[in-house]
């Protein structure tokens, strides 16, 4: 992602814009409003009298809200504008943006304000791989609301854009004709809803998250006592960053940690488990949610397309169009040789930190299934080591361990190691997982 | 708890069967085609009863077509794919609904059940 981009997020919904607040997605600049691995807005550009305001400063107030301070300038040496623009944006259930324009001059001014809007509904994989869409885009106007939509069979996604006060709504955006008196301001609030049809939107755009909720979550963590103030700041910032990674599935209680913005705001096996493990002293509830979500989707059948096997813990779930039409195997994809052992390790670590033996009893069937997977499927040749080799040769992962880039496991001369591959950390995880699970088995 | 208007039943008789994949899972699931309720699946620690009644349920599963519903009961539908494509929708306790659908995928006792002879 570009250093000049500004990102705000709430779970797997996020907005990536430039420092003006504009969204102008290109194959090389992955801006947009994203939800469930789909880009719901690919163009969002503000112009005033045909000009784009220039940024004076950006105030990233919290991970879910940001303010852009701008001016309509013509000069290049210094800012000589009498017109200032403030854009306040908060993400949640879509996003809400307030645009406030102030005339600092002694004379009234006529403004032609336009906000261009478009949505390409690209799957994140399409954005990464520059693939073409297979469905149809549409747009419609209803009572001042602009709806941008996409349909491919039963896969329907929509973006609804509603300004208040209403202006001139067109299929390519919004327009406002404003005569602004001297030393006065005009503002508009625009709600942008992303509808993924997995359920109705859960609330009004931009208002579900609050600093209070984040503060309360941070306050639940252990209190740091020390005399070095920077350490306090680092500690708090780390907790807030962790809060930003929280991700709700809607099918298990609580939130689990996603793997990162923007490509990895999804349920992952390895990443969600390792983050939960490392955050255990500070936010053990993340581990509880992660374990329950991964247990729910634990492998049940042999499915080569998804690299699924009974007892295996998933690698990744994606919710975009390519997953929906099985052009990618992430529904879920199980191409991870270490997640199953990490699941057992995190379960024991969670019980050790919290004393919550009920969790161990609740997940005992899944833990036993995981152990069975290690011995039956993980250790393919019965030599006591776990090795991996993808069964999905088209879209499966070559490497299913910590270093999962396709060319990451190589000899010193650069030659790729043949599959199946038994990397060293997998064997350590097995030993740790079995030792820990044996202890749990005695306790439950 | 969810309730829904009862319409044409998925079956003209009461079906009972065991599903080891749903051991430990208990609850009630209303089955619907579109907005029309067509039956209730009662799960009691892996024992499944397909019936219809008006009692409250934990979740309502609505399929786009009757054929989709039969496929779902037979474990022939991937939950994530079906949900993303609008083939299956859930209202109510989605965690319970997911457990049941994933369990049926792993081993449905209804694989050979002739649902009214109208199934796909």
Closest by CA to A270, choosing from A342, A329, A318, is A342
Report the Cα–Cα distance between both ends of chain B, in Å, rounded. 30
- The reply to whether residue B98 touches residue A156, judged by beta carbons under 8 angstroms, is no
Q: What is the pLDDT of residue B120?
A: 38
- Work out the average pLDDT over B73-80: 94
- Determine the average pLDDT of the residues in A285-290: 97
Rounded percentage of chain A residues whose pLDDT exceeds 90: 82
Interhelix angle for A339-354 vs A284-296, to 10°?
Answer: 140
| pLDDT tens per residue, range A335-387 | 999 999 999 999 999 999 999 999 999 999 999 999 999 999 999 999 999 99
Residues of A in contact with B24 (CB under 8 A): 365
Which of A194-203, A311-320, A382-391 is least confident? A194-203
Express each pLDDT in B27-57 by its tens digit. Answer: 999 999 999 999 999 999 999 999 888 899 9
The pLDDT > 90 percentage for chain B reads: 70
Higher pLDDT, A213 or A371: A371
ipTM above 0.90, yes or no: no
The mean pLDDT of A160-179, rounded to a whole number, is 95
The sign of the torsion formed by the CA atoms of A403, A409, A412, A415 equals negative
Residue A92 — very low, low, confident or very high, per pLDDT cuts 50/70/90? confident
Looking at residue A28, its pLDDT comes to 65
Topology of domain A245-443, CATH? Glycosyltransferase (1.50.10)
B83 touches chain A (CB under 8 A): yes
Q: Say which residues have a Cβ less than 8 Å from residue A249's Cβ, sequence separation at least 6.
A: A256, A267, A293
Q: Are A116 and A199 in contact (CB under 8 A)?
A: no
Contact A301 B99 (CB under 8 A): no
Chain B's closest residue to A200, CA to CA, is B91
In angstroms, rounded to a whole number, what is the distance separating the alpha carbons of residues A251 and B95? 4
CB neighbourhood size of B46 (10 A):
18
- Look up residue B3 and give its two tokens: 């309730």
**pLDDT classification of A39: cutoffs 50, 70, 90:** very high
Q: What are phi and psi for residue B71, nearest 5 degrees?
A: -60, -40
Cis check: omega of the bond before A262, within 30 degrees of 0 = yes
Look at B80 and A331 and tell me if their CB atoms are within 8 Å: yes
Q: Contact, A293 vs A251, CB < 8 A?
A: yes
**Closest-CA distance of chain A to residue B5, Å:** 20
pLDDT digits (tens, 9 = 90+) for A273-284: 999 999 999 999
For residue A129, pLDDT beyond 70 = no
A226 touches chain B (CB under 8 A): no
Closest Cα in chain A to B80: A331
- The reported pLDDT for the residue numbered B119 is 43
Common-topology check for domains A6-195 and A245-443 = no
Those of residues 273-312 in A touching chain B at CB distance below 8 A are 296-297, 300-301, 310
CATH placement of domain A6-195: 2.70.98.40
Find the helix or strand (DSSP H, E) in which B33 lies: strand B26-33
Q: What per-residue confidence (pLDDT) applies to A75?
A: 61
Minimal Cα–Cα distance from B106 to chain A, Å? 5
Mean pLDDT in residue range A22-40: 88
The pLDDT score that the predictor gives to residue A18 is 95
- Alpha-carbon distance of A416 to A303, in angstroms, equals 27
- Spell out the domains of chain B, with CATH numbers in brackets: 15-106 (3.30.1050.10)
Residue given tokens 């390792």 in the structure block? A274
Q: Tell me the mean pLDDT in the region A82-105.
A: 94
For residue A13, the Cα-to-chain-centroid distance in whole angstroms is: 6
Say whether pLDDT at B6 is over 90: no
Mean pLDDT of B62-81: 94
Q: Name the residue in chain A with its Cα closest to that of B92.
A: A251
Q: Do B78 and A331 touch (CB under 8 A)?
A: yes
Instruction: Identify the closest residue of chain A to B85 by CA–CA distance.
Output: A155
pLDDT over threshold 90, residue A26: no
The CB density around residue B47, as the number of other CB atoms within 10 Å, is 15
Q: Tell me, what's the pLDDT at B8?
A: 60
Task: Give A 308-327 residues with CB within 8 A of chain B.
Answer: 310, 317, 319, 321, 323-326
Q: Predicted confidence band at B70 (pLDDT cuts at 50, 70, 90)?
A: very high
Indicate the residue of A252, A301, A323 with minimum beta-carbon distance to B106: A301
Query: Which residues in chain B are closer than 8 Å to A332, comparing Cβ atoms?
Result: 80
Do A331 and B86 lie within an 8 Å CB cutoff? no
Q: pLDDT at residue B22 above 50?
A: yes
| Domain boundaries of chain A, sorted by first residue | 6-195, 245-443
Nearest Cβ partner for B24 among A156, A323, A365: A365
CB-CB neighbors (< 8 A) of A324 in chain B? 81, 84-85
């Amino acid at each position: 992602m570009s250093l000049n981009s500004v990102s705000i997020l709430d779970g797997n919904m996020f907005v990536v814009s430039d420092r003006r607040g504009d969204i102008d997605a290109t194959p090389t600049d992955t801006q947009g409003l994203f939800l469930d691995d789909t880009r719901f807005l690919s163009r969002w550009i503000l112009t005033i009298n045909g000009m784009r305001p220039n940024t004076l400063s950006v105030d990233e107030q919290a991970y879910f809200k940001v303010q852009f301070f701008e001016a309509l300038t013509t000069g290049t040496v210094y800012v000589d504008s009498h017109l200032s623009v403030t854009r306040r944006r908060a993400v949640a259930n879509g996003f809400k943006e307030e645009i406030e324009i102030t005339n600092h001059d002694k004379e009234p001014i006529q403004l032609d304000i336009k906000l261009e809007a478009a949505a390409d509904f690209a799957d994140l994989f399409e954005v990464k791989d520059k693939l073409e869409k297979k469905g149809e885009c549409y747009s419609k106007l209803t009572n001042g609301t602009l709806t941008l939509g996409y349909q491919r069979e039963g896969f329907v996604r929509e973006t609804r854009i509603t300004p208040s006060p209403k202006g001139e709504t067109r299929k390519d955006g919004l327009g406002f004709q404003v005569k602004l008196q001297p030393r006065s301001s005009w503002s508009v609030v625009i709600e942008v809803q992303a509808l993924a049809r997995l359920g109705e939107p859960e609330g009004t755009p931009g208002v579900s998250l609050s600093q209070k909720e984040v503060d309360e979550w941070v306050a639940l963590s252990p209190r740091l006592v020390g005399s070095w103030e920077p350490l306090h700041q680092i500690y708090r910032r780390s907790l807030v960053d962790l809060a930003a990674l929280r991700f709700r599935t809607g099918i298990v209680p609580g939130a689990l940690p996603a793997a990162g913005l923007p490509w990895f705001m999804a349920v992952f096996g390895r990443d969600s488990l390792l983050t939960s493990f490392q955050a255990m002293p500070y936010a053990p509830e993340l581990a509880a949610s992660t374990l329950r979500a991964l247990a729910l989707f634990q492998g049940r059948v042999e499915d080569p397309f998804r690299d699924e096997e009974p007892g295996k813990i998933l690698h990744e779930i994606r919710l975009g169009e390519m997953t929906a039409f099985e052009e990618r195997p992430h529904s879920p994809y199980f191409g991870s040789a270490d997640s199953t052992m990490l699941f057992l390790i995190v379960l024991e670590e969670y019980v050790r930190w919290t004393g919550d033996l009920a969790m161990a009893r609740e997940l005992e069937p899944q833990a036993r299934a995981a152990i069975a997977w290690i011995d039956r499927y993980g250790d393919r040749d019965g030599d006591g080591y776990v090795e991996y080799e993808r069964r999905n040769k088209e879209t499966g992962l070559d490497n299913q361990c910590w270093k999962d880039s396709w060319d990451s496991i190589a000899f010193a001369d650069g030659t790729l190691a043949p599959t199946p591959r038994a990397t060293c950390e997998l064997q350590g995880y097995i030993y740790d997982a079995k030792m820990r699970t044996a202890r749990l088995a005695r306790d439950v | 708890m969810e309730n829904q208007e009862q319409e044409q039943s998925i079956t003209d008789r009461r079906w009972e069967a065991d599903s080891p994949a749903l051991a430990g899972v208990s609850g009630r699931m209303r089955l619907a085609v579109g907005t029309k309720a067509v039956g209730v699946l009662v799960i009691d620690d892996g024992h499944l009863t397909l019936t219809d009644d008006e009692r409250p349920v934990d979740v309502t599963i609505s399929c786009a077509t009757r054929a989709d519903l039969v496929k779902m009961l037979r474990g022939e539908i991937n939950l994530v794919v079906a949900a993303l494509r609008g083939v299956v929708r859930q209202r109510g306790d989605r965690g319970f609904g997911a457990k049941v659908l994933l369990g049926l995928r792993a081993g449905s006792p209804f694989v050979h059940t002739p649902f009214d002879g109208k199934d796909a």
